[in-house]
Structure 1
Amino acid sequence: MRGLTLHACILVLWPECGWEPVSLTDLITSNSVKKVYRKATLCVHPDKVQQKGATVQQKYTAEKVFDILKEAWNKFNKEELS
């Protein structure tokens, strides 16, 4: 799942998780990226997924996507500060 993009999330996530595709125009500013990142992490946060009664496979997928999103966010922040 390395290199997962926000668009690819729709291919691996299930419809009930709440994720919807994001256009590039929604990612123009740092603030908009932050907003989309937060929305994405809420859809796949392990605690939230557990509360919604996800299957074992959905929990595993959500956990992996959550980890990849955190990694991408850290890289984005590092590049923003450079």
Structure 2
Amino acid sequence: TLQYILGPESGWQPLPLTEVITSAAVKRAYRKATLCVHPDKLQQRGANIHQKYICEKVFDLLKEAWNRFNSEGR
């Protein structure tokens, strides 16, 4: 999960599956996750090139998963 990929400084806390049952809850979790890895936020935090690369890949994967979630009719 994200806390292992991003490390403790990211602020990401794992979500129990019981908290992402509804579409609205999934959307909130998605938005929260993308804020942790968004390129503009990383720039503000002074991330190094390695962190930026990892977060860029995670950001792309999150967008892909979100698009798939939406296309499957939730």
Q: TM-score scaled to structure 1, two decimals?
A: 0.85
Deviating above 6 A after TM superposition, structure 1's stretches of 4 or more consecutive aligned residues are none
Q: 1:35 aligns with which of 14, 28, 32?
A: 28
1:37-76 pair list within 5 angstroms: 37-76=30-69
Larger relative contact order (Cα-Cα within 8 Å, sequence gap ≥ 6): 1
**Cα RMSD (Å):** 1.0
2:73 corresponds, among 59, 75, 80, to 80
Is the contact between residue 42 and residue 48 of structure 1 (CA under 8 Å) also seen in structure 2?
yes
Paired positions, count: 74
User: 2:6: which partner in 1?
Assistant: 13
Aligned amino acid, residue 36 of structure 2: C
TM-score by length of 2: 0.94
Where in structure 1 are there 5+ consecutive unaligned residues?
1-7
> 1:38 Cα shift?
0.2
Cα distance in structure 2, aligned partners of 1:11 and 1:80: 30
